[in-house]
């Protein structure tokens, strides 16, 4: 398990575009864009070692993660061009305290949350393109 730096937490909290990659047990890849639904953040830092993705759409992410819990995400902040890559092991939650709390945030806006994906971060890499320097 890896602890997220404050810089990486800031990138995640202020993201502009996110892509999540999963693969089925057979190795068939799937990439899902996130961050397009800006009523509430659907990508969040849970704590120093976990990131949460809210699944409101495609069920392929859930299906793949139930077969193969490995997840890869690229998170990019559009205006600063900072970004990070996260590798981790995912747990799909469709009930329980965390799921209920996040679902309750979206429900008043008429948005159905199908699952919350809790990722235990195993590796993280970050960059700042404008300065062409690795920051994490």
Question: DSSP letter at 77?
Answer: -
* Structural domains in the chain, sorted by start: 6-134 (2.30.110.10)
Question: What is the Cα 99 distance to its own chain's centre?
Answer: 15
Determine if the pTM surpasses 0.75. yes
Q: CA dihedral defined by 116, 125, 135, 11, rounded to 10 degrees?
A: -20
Question: Given this model, what pLDDT does residue 21 score?
Answer: 96
Strand partners, 51: 45, 119
Look at residue 52 and give its three-state secondary structure.
strand
Question: Given this model, what pLDDT does residue 12 score?
Answer: 84
Question: Given this model, what pLDDT does residue 36 score?
Answer: 53
Per-residue pLDDT of the chain (136 residues; tens, 9 = 90+): 789 988 888 888 887 678 899 999 999 999 988 765 555 677 889 999 999 998 887 789 999 999 999 999 998 877 777 888 999 999 999 999 999 999 999 888 888 899 999 999 999 987 765 554 455 5
Contact 65, 97 (CB under 8 A): no
Question: Given this model, what pLDDT does residue 72 score?
Answer: 96
């Amino acid at each position: 398990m890896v602890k997220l730096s404050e810089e990486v937490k800031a990138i995640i909290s202020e993201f502009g575009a996110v892509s999540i990659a999963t693969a089925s047990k057979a190795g068939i890849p799937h990439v899902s864009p996130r961050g397009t639904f800006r009523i509430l953040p659907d990508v969040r830092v849970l704590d120093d070692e976990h990131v949460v993705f809210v699944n409101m759409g495609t069920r392929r992410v859930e299906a793949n993660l139930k077969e193969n819990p490995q997840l890869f995400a690229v998170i990019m902040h559009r205006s600063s061009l900072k970004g990070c890559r996260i590798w981790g092991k995912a747990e799909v939650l469709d009930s329980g305290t965390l799921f209920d709390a996040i679902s309750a945030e979206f429900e008043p806006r008429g948005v159905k949350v199908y699952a919350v994906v809790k990722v235990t971060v195993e590796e993280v890499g970050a960059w700042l393109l404008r300065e062409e320097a690795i920051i994490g």
